[in-house]
Amino acid sequence: MEQPFRFLAFAVFVLLMFCMIFHVVYDLCLKPKFLRANLLKQGIDGPKPTLILGNTPDIRKFECKELESDTLIYNTNEPKSLDFLSIVLLPHIGQWTKQFGKTFSFALGKTQFLYIGDGELVREMSHCKSLDLGKPSYMRKERGPLLGKGIFTTSGEAWLHQRKTIAPTFYADKVKNMLSIVLESGNTLVKSWAKLVENESGIADIRIDDYVKTFTSSTFSNIMFGRYESAEKVLFSKCRDLMEISGSPKIIDGRPFYRYFPTKIHRQQWKLEKEIYRIIKDIEMKYRSEGESMIQTLVDGAKHGKLGSATPEQFIVDNCKELCIVAMEVPGITAIWGLMLLALHPEWQARARAEVLEICGGQILDFEKLGRMKILKMIIQEILRLYSGVGFTAREALADVQIGKVCVPKGVNIWIWPAALHRDPELWGSDALKFNPERFANGISGACKIPQAFMPFGLGPRTCPGMNLGMMLLKVMFAQILVKFSFSLSPNYQHVPKFDVLLEPKDGVKLLVRRV
């Protein structure tokens, strides 16, 4: 009996080893080939990937060639072109677009991607409401400490529950009631600049980044927690640190299980993740019973509905963390780029200032007055077209998904780069690389041949739920600054856009600010 038993055990062991080896070979080699062959049958080609690392080595070679030319210094007497390839160092996208067209496939590690730069396909994708078009699983894996399992990374029923929990807070009627909070934060920013200008005898050279981000973070903190005190300031600072060390999403490491290795960066990420978790839990326990706030909404949402693989604590913490990062960073970075563009174009600065003064007439801003500011809205839309702050819009086919004439196989990830779409002359006209808010005089449909290709807040069912708040933040901040100050680019400003998690100025934006 002992001999047959040993043979059976050995046979089971061999079978398990064979299954494991087959799974690894299929996952790393065969599956990517099948997905790529499926796309190729539909006429979608791309650069040939290497085993294990995919096209990552090609991307690194492209980037090395560009490192010496990543600084563009603005001559204030000679406005520069806003060509996206000179703004964001993604030369591989430009090269592959020239070689394979606006839609092509490539691989980062074993993960297969379909890059869509064709406006017609983007329009079709915006109409796809299937839950089978979800968020990429690599975002939770490769960016787990940063993004977790919140609304921006989950899919299916779990995402639907998070959307239904969070979105109502940002409906237009609710956002109206937040105006006083935004105005208070804006007044603090204006007073800070006024003091600097006064101390510098009428003109101050100001690096505006921290002031603008304090405006956005204090606003959102009051909405999320009902206050902006030391604990909240530490939370936002930790979130910023975590975002900075998480690096660029344009490279996915192809080495199996590498994200589990205790490298220096990984240890820093894990440490910050734990610290942020602890801070949010402490704040939640302190404020959860103090009136209405966003944190209370998350606590209520964690008690019912489908949470997916997240625990109730993860539901609260990860959504709070994601919202803090997005609500502080995205509108803040957009506002910083916007002030840079207005500094370059004093004629639009003057037109917007005249509109604000005419509509307000020295009175306090209200929602009705903001709605009448058409020139300011056009300017903000043009800023969002050129510098929306976001990187790629990413999706994953959780099942075979039909997008127009293209069938996207299950497991393929989709990338859309708004920076490229927003500068495509075929969509925006011959002046696509120029700052021209007038193009939005008749709305988005009058500015772009395919309106869905204007996507600063995402596209389809997963558009940013905080869009209304974001627009109000930008309108209020620009309006308050314009009536008090005029500004131009500082000679110390260096134009070095940096694309890590978001598109932001590497060395900040410096302005010469004067009282009007």
Distance CA 126, CA 107 (A): 24
Instruction: Note the pLDDT of residue 18.
Output: 76
Closest by Cα among 221, 476, 462 to 328: 221
Distance CA 266, CA 248 (A): 14
Distance CA 352, CA 342 (A): 10
Distance CA 190, CA 211 (A): 9
| Domain annotation covers residue 18 | no
Distance CA 253, CA 260 (A): 12
Instruction: Note the pLDDT of residue 21.
Output: 77
| Domain annotation covers residue 382 | yes
Total domains, the chain: 1
Distance CA 226, CA 207 (A): 29
Residues of the chain with pLDDT under 50: 68-81, 84-87, 250
Tens-place pLDDT, residues 128-141: 888 899 998 887 77
Write the CATH number for 60.
1.10.630.10
| Domain annotation covers residue 29 | no
| Domain annotation covers residue 36 | no
The pairing of strands 510-515 and 485-489 is antiparallel
Q: pTM for the complete prediction?
A: 0.89
Instruction: Note the pLDDT of residue 69.
Output: 46
| Domain annotation covers residue 6 | no
| Domain annotation covers residue 4 | no
What number of CA atoms fall less than 13 Å from residue 471's CA on the CB side? 22
| Domain annotation covers residue 9 | no
Q: Write a three-state SS string for 81-104.
A: CCCHHHHCCCHHHHHHHHHHCCEE
Distance CA 147, CA 322 (A): 6
Count the neighbouring beta carbons within 10 Å of the beta carbon of residue 451: 16
Instruction: Note the pLDDT of residue 60.
Output: 77
CA distances from 321 to 236, 276, 318, 445 (A): 9, 8, 5, 35
**What single DSSP character describes residue 75?**
B
Distance CA 224, CA 222 (A): 6
Output phi, psi for 107, to 5 deg: -135, 140
CA distances from 177 to 148, 193, 320, 467 (A): 30, 27, 21, 15
| Domain annotation covers residue 21 | no
- Provide the residue range defining the domain that includes 181: 43-515
Tens-place pLDDT, residues 233-290: 899 999 988 888 876 554 555 555 667 778 888 889 899 999 999 999 988 887 665 5
Instruction: Note the pLDDT of residue 207.
Output: 97
